[in-house]
Amino acid sequence: MILNEEEQLILATVRQFLEKEVEPVAIEMEHRDEYPEDIVERMKEMGLFGANVPEAYGGQDLSYTVYAMIFEEIARVWMGLAGILGTHSVMCDVIARFGTQEQKQRFLPVLTRGEKRGAICLSEPEAGTDLQAIRTTAARKGDHYLINGSKMWITNGRRAEMLLILTKTDKDARPVYEGISTFIAEKGAPGLTISRDIDKLGYKGLETCELLFEDFRVPAENLIGGREGEGFKQVMTGLESERINVAARGLGVARAAFEEAIKYAQQRRTFGKPICEHQAIQLKLADMATKIEASRLLIYSAAEKKDRGERCDLEVGMAKLFATETAQECALEAMRVFGGNGYAKDFPVERYYRDAPLLIIGGGTNELQRLVIARNLLKKYSIRDS
């Protein structure tokens, strides 16, 4: 992948920021589950909250390839930090693609500057991967809608000031997706309760919440695109960008685990020589490096297709599936290379091992990705078209 001078400078700036300001504090803050207030302020200053926003609204309008590279670098140092940025950028993507001109002008500049940060409210206690099964409703009442229901697993749910909410505006619609709509909601109106923060295995440093809506009032002008029944398509397109960034996070975690393992393997000695000279360890390192490189190529291929404005759910599904499974495998293999030290909190490997499973589940489970891939392959290679 050949980057222009500006793109190279952006990536170099991000790497320098991560190396100097994030890496020295990441382990301790992650163990304390501490929200990185100062680091987030620096991310605002660097323009990262507007990375995928068009320049007309103050954003950097980066290509999805560079966008993926940024998420890879952040997740390599601290995966939780990537989560603070990830859902926000998906919200920006949906508004930029499907919002009315008035919505774009009203919301994108403040999101770009990080003055208000976004969270996406899709999953529910009874609907995660299958978003058509949501029960949250939005009923029109004059110049506003009343939203009722609950949302689960909402990253940034407590600190985000703006919410993208997936609802049913027509419970009787067939097919079901034609009755689904999305709204941009700003906190402040009565009827929204953040009921709890979910205590997680990993993915520390940011909150994951359950939200309850009881006659939560949202102006009708905040219906994304201005038309009911368009929400499912809007969210599915937004999830393409989310799966690119989740895949890139997987690549970052895999890289981090591999880099720690290969460094440690050259330092640790058993039976009179460094363990990197034992064939058993060499095989692990070779497999890890090969799968990391394959993950990178899959991600870049999907990102380049999205940059061309083409549907890329097949390529994104493959990239997300492979890169996140690679992250899980590399985290475990790195722990094995470290032996007992890999299980200790003195070393970062145990953190990668705790973070990796979220990537397999989040952004659509990998079981779903396999179904999406198979469905698209059957369409692509249909014998009826031959």
Do the Cβ atoms of 51 and 105 come closer than 8 Å?
A: no
Beta strands 180-186 and 162-168 are: antiparallel
Measure Cα distances from 137 to 7, 51, 122 in Å: 42, 32, 12
Rounded to 5 degrees, what angle do the CA atoms 152, 154, 156 make?
Answer: 155
Number of helical H runs and strand E runs in the chain: 11, 9
CA distance 331 to 99: 40
DSSP structural state of residue 124: B
CA distance 354 to 337: 17
CA distance 114 to 335: 37
Four-point Cα dihedral 369, 372, 377, 379, nearest 10: -170
Q: Which two tokens stand for residue 148?
A: 């009722």
CA distance 347 to 231: 44
Measure Cα distances from 303 to 32, 253, 306, 313 in Å: 35, 19, 5, 11
Among 230, 242, 315, 333, the one annotated catalytic: 242
Catalytic residue status for 186: no
Residue with token string 């939203």: 147
Nearest to 163 by CA among 191, 145, 182: 182
- Residues whose CB falls within 8 Å of the CB of residue 307, separated by 6 or more in sequence, listed in order: 63, 64, 65
Catalytic residues: 242
